[in-house]
A and B are shown apart, each in its own frame.
Chain A
Amino acid sequence: MARDTYRLRIEAPELARQVLPGQFFMIRSPGVTNLLLGRPFALYDVWTDASGAPAGIDIAYLVVGKMTGLMATWVPGDRVEVWGPLGNGFPPADCERLLLVAGGIGNTPFPAVAREALGLARYGNRAPQAKLPREAVTFCYGVRSAEYLAGLEDFAALGIDVRLATDDGTRGHKGFVTELVANLLQGTDSRGYRIYCCGPEPMMHAVAKLTARHNIPCWLSLETPMACGFGACFSCVTKVKQPSGEWDYRRTCVEGPIFHAEQLAL
């Protein structure tokens, strides 16, 4: 899809029928113990067969470690272990303007989110939603350098407003994606806006601060080290505000990975 970035297509109709945008799967190489645990990957999108029925799932990943390095060597026909769909997913885009903000490989949940918001696809057993017009959906996407921009053709095909940023200025705005978001919100009436965000933690912190200042509801997709993905191991915790005003560690895999920014004790 881009430098060190690949799409993995898994044939799994049952998973494809159930999954919601923003949910994830654990993927594991069968029969090995040198890569013992599964690794979590967000849904990129569902793919359909010739009749239009959900046939499987696409995962987009950046090669960063042992598991993703191994995955890049997989060839069609290989068998993998997958369990899911896991986590809560993004809520339906019940808003007038939807702003999707991605940093790095954090673009992965957004093709499905955008297609659902535009009314181009339905996921799981969710009721059909009010469709947003194309011009009401903006995708702000920042990466280190232009060669890492992945899946641009998928976003372009949706006809939504795509705004790019690169750290080195090789494409789009030179600088952080958060600056794109700040510029976009500058002086606009932000009523009816909603933001969905996925990327490195410092970037999500910055977006959460911005949206608090503009009073825009914001949901973040967290990535925390995870051993099982289904709530048994208590590894993937993050600080979540409690009714008492205190915080407590909560499992990202079952209570997230999507949290309203205000829930988090950042």
Chain B
Amino acid sequence: MPARLRFVAPSGYGRYDECVPTLQVELNRLTLANPILVASGTFGYAREMQAFVPFERLGGIIPKTVTPRDRRGNPPPRTVETASGLLNSIGLDNDGLDAFIEKHLSYLLGLGTKIIANIAGHDRDEFVQMAERLGKCQGLAGLELNISCPNVSGGVDFGTDPKKTSAVVSGVRAACELPILAKLTPNVTDISEIAQAAAEAGADAVSLVNTFSGMAVDWRRRRPILGNNVGGLSGPAIKPMVLKIVWHVARTVRVPIVAVGGISSIDDVMEFLVAGASAVQIGTANFYNPTLAGRLVEELEAALATAGYASVREIVGTLQANS
């Protein structure tokens, strides 16, 4: 068991243990020991983070997106820093599903935390076939469907169309028993429509959101900076937009929300919880503050205790609009 912070009991608490808040959260069929996850594409296959993060403290790990076959990914430069943000177009560089299962899965499953595999296919059938195979892998906690990657052709098509979203999610739901997170794109007119479609098709939760489409320009050379010309924006720059999306979806769709977008401190975590997220993913911050995710769980206990809450569940969605 990881060491836990202990807090001085507020008045009214008889037993010492009672004031350690309950961190467990339920996303329908998926139960997490705590709501701190790490986002796909920002944590490698966990091996890369071994020196920085005590994995067993996390609520779960979402490794880098895996596709049916290996992909070289996009030509460099693949990332560029913009104002308080990171623009990337990695292009789902990965070795394919076979290599993921052979090289990474058994390592991941031994880390003492929930592993949620993130998958992307070119069409519904590819998603379904990957789900069938991964559904047979003992020990996996769930699947996150990347129907929102802005950097590959076809990637974002599913997540911008409620019918296609529904087809992929229901296909995966029928193909395996694993809990499903649908990771949505913010690059749509009304994301709640997509979230609704995902929920009705059987998604246990929605991950809000993937990156915002963007670009960076070197005007002197009259060239886009990224090798792929355009990319997706993440980091602190997008946090206000993601907060608004999470709050909006929480008020309009009955589905647990996993928030992801610019979270880089415990205050950011608390903001997303009160706005309606049941769990959060740490993403870009893993690159520049690699020990953050491992520290947030203890900080969450402290923040809840200080605010007088006995569990994460109690604080989720408590934000009240100004009248």
Taking Cβ atoms with an 8 Å cutoff, the residues of A that contact B are 28, 33-38, 83, 224-228, 230-238, 248-249, 254
**C-alpha spacing A234/B288, complex, angstroms:** 14
Known: A231-B44, A232-B43, A237-B73. A36 touches B93 (CB 8 A): no
Are A234 and B73 within 8 A (Cβ)? yes
Q: Which residues of A contact B286 (CB under 8 A)?
A: 228, 232
Q: Which 10 A-B pairs have the closest CB atoms?
A: A231-B48, A228-B287, A235-B79, A232-B44, A33-B84, A232-B48, A235-B78, A227-B287, A225-B77, A33-B236
Are B288 and A37 within 8 A (Cβ)? yes
Are B88 and A228 within 8 A (Cβ)? no
Are B93 and A234 within 8 A (Cβ)? yes
- The residue from B80, B264, B287 contacting A232, defined by CB atoms under 8 A apart: B287
Q: Which residues of A contact B93 (CB under 8 A)?
A: 234, 237, 249
CB distance from B215 to the nearest CB of A (A): 15
Known: A36-B85, A234-B90. A227 touches B49 (CB 8 A): no
- The residue from B44, B83, B288 contacting A28, defined by CB atoms under 8 A apart: B288
Q: Interface digits, B85-125 against A, CB 8 Å rule (1 contact, 0 not)?
A: 11010100100000000000000000000000000000000
Q: Which residues of A contact B290 (CB under 8 A)?
A: 83, 228, 230, 232
Known: A36-B236, A237-B93. A224 touches B76 (CB 8 A): yes
Interface residues of B in 60-74 (CB under 8 A from A): 64, 72-73
Q: Which residues of A contact B44 (CB under 8 A)?
A: 231-234
CB distance from B299 to the nearest CB of A (A): 16
**C-alpha spacing A35/B81, complex, angstroms:** 8
Closest B residue to A231 by beta carbon equals: B48
Are A233 and B42 within 8 A (Cβ)? yes
- The residue from A37, A38, A83, A237 contacting B76, defined by CB atoms under 8 A apart: A237
Closest B residue to A246 by beta carbon equals: B72
Extra pairs beyond A227-B81, A232-B43 (7, CB < 8 Å): A33-B236, A37-B287, A230-B49, A232-B48, A232-B286, A233-B90, A237-B73
**C-alpha spacing A226/B88, complex, angstroms:** 11
Q: List 19 A-B contacts (CB under 8 A).
A: A28-B288, A34-B84, A36-B85, A36-B284, A37-B81, A37-B86, A37-B288, A38-B287, A224-B77, A225-B76, A227-B288, A228-B48, A231-B44, A232-B44, A232-B290, A233-B41, A233-B42, A233-B88, A236-B76
The answer to whether B235 has its CB under 8 Å from any CB of chain A is yes
Q: Which residues of B contact A33 (CB under 8 A)?
A: 84, 235-236, 264
Q: How many residues of B contact A (CB 8 A)?
A: 33
- The residue from A35, A225, A231 contacting B79, defined by CB atoms under 8 A apart: A225
Q: Which residues of B contact A36 (CB under 8 A)?
A: 81, 84-86, 235-236, 284, 288
- Most chain A beta-carbon neighbours within 10 Å: one of B64, B72, B79, B235: B79
Known: A33-B236, A37-B81. A249 touches B72 (CB 8 A): yes
CB distance from B184 to the nearest CB of A (A): 22
**C-alpha spacing A28/B52, complex, angstroms:** 16
- The residue from A34, A232, A248, A249 contacting B49, defined by CB atoms under 8 A apart: A232
Q: Interface digits, B32-53 against A, CB 8 Å rule (1 contact, 0 not)?
A: 0000000001111001110110
CB distance from A259 to the nearest CB of B (A): 15
**C-alpha spacing A254/B45, complex, angstroms:** 14
Closest B residue to A253 by beta carbon equals: B48
- The residue from A228, A238, A249 contacting B288, defined by CB atoms under 8 A apart: A228
Are B73 and A230 within 8 A (Cβ)? no
**C-alpha spacing A231/B287, complex, angstroms:** 9
CB distance from A70 to the nearest CB of B (A): 13
**C-alpha spacing A232/B38, complex, angstroms:** 12
Q: Which residues of B contact A225 (CB under 8 A)?
A: 76-80
CB distance from B88 to the nearest CB of A (A): 7
Q: Which residues of A contact B80 (CB under 8 A)?
A: 225
CB distance from B264 to the nearest CB of A (A): 8
**C-alpha spacing A234/B42, complex, angstroms:** 9
CB distance from B118 to the nearest CB of A (A): 14
**C-alpha spacing A101/B82, complex, angstroms:** 34
Are B287 and A233 within 8 A (Cβ)? yes
Q: Which residues of A contact B42 (CB under 8 A)?
A: 232-233
**C-alpha spacing A36/B49, complex, angstroms:** 19
Are A38 and B83 within 8 A (Cβ)? no
- Most chain A beta-carbon neighbours within 10 Å: one of B51, B80, B90, B287: B287
**C-alpha spacing A226/B86, complex, angstroms:** 11
- The residue from A28, A34, A83, A230 contacting B48, defined by CB atoms under 8 A apart: A230
Known: A227-B287, A248-B72. A234 touches B78 (CB 8 A): yes
**C-alpha spacing A36/B237, complex, angstroms:** 10
Q: Which residues of B contact A37 (CB under 8 A)?
A: 81, 86, 287-288
Q: Which residues of B contact A38 (CB under 8 A)?
A: 287-288
Closest A residue to B51 by beta carbon equals: A230
CB distance from B47 to the nearest CB of A (A): 8
Q: Which residues of B contact A248 (CB under 8 A)?
A: 72
CB distance from A72 to the nearest CB of B (A): 19
**C-alpha spacing A227/B286, complex, angstroms:** 10
Q: Which residues of B contact A231 (CB under 8 A)?
A: 44, 47-48
